[in-house]
Amino acid sequence: MDFRQEFIEFAVSQNVLRFGEFTTKAGRLSPYFFNAGLFNDGASLDRLAQFYAKAIIASGTDIDVLFGPAYKGIPLVAATAMALARQGKNLPYAYNRKEAKDHGEGGSLVGAPLSGKVLIVDDVISAGTSVRESVELIRAAGASPCGVIIALDRMERGTGALSAVQEVERDYGIPVVAVATLDDLLAFLGERTDLRTHAAAVAAYRKEYGVARA
């Protein structure tokens, strides 16, 4: 089993990935729900970060600094930096505050200076707001965003023909790497007899709202 399938199995076991009927922000009735915020203890965050590290290394992306957007990206970027260091890839990391400090070190950035090629570490991309703010911060610091890493790509259309992930790739010219995608989830469901009843509903949702992946 590759790391993408292992990640989905892990997300299901942690009840982070659930099946049933869930209403999305767009008002769609989804047969599955993914909430990365439920990786909320030390062991699950550590394991999640190991999957991020594997996906980053597998992508072959050239990175100088890791960046975690406040607030969800802060524990993710710190844990991912530790997981990469254990794999022999020790990278500096930084994150931002929502409110800039006017004392101490000041400013809105904490951690390593942003320089060179910066990878944004986040949980998911829905509206792309977090990525846009991160790109602006990185460029303002004189560095270059080189990509985004997320846990799950829902591969779902937004208001137009493209998904939120594809819009980010188009608008900023940077790749989005996902630990797993909706297609990986469908492959996983097809192999699990205890979950196979959900496969048809997820496949139908993919057909109605999904986007093709180049």
Is 103 annotated as catalytic? Answer: yes
Locus of tokens 């990206």: 73
103 has a pLDDT exceeding 70: no
pLDDT of residue 18: 96
* 85 phi/psi in degrees, rounded to 5: -60, -40
pLDDT at 186 over 60: yes
Q: Are 118 and 64 in contact, with CB atoms under 8 Å apart?
A: yes
Q: What CATH topology corresponds to 3-209?
A: Rossmann fold (3.40.50)
Q: What are phi and psi of 49, to 5 degrees?
A: -65, -35
Catalytic residue among 54, 72, 98, 103: 103
What confidence tier does 101 reach under pLDDT thresholds 50, 70, 90?
low
The pLDDT-based confidence of 129 (bands split at 50, 70, 90) is confident
Count Cβ atoms below 10 Å from residue 3 Cβ, excluding itself. 18
pTM score of the predicted model: 0.93
**CB distance 20 to 197 below 8 Å:** no
Please check whether residue 90 is in contact with residue 53, taking contact to mean a CB–CB distance below 8 angstroms: no
User: Per-residue pLDDT for 104 more than 60?
Assistant: no
Rounded to whole angstroms, the Cα distance separating 173 from 175 reads 7
- Rounded distance between C-alpha atoms, residue 192 and residue 198, angstroms: 10
Q: What is the pLDDT of residue 122?
A: 96
CA R_g for the chain: 17
- Residues 158-172: pLDDT tens digits? 878 899 999 999 999
Asked whether the CA dihedral 141, 143, 144, 149 is positive or negative, the reply is negative
Sketch the domain layout of the chain as residue ranges: 3-209
Of the listed ranges 101-105, 131-135, 181-185, the one predicted with least confidence: 101-105
80/68 Cα distance (integer angstroms):
10
Among 25, 54, 89, 101, the one annotated catalytic: 101
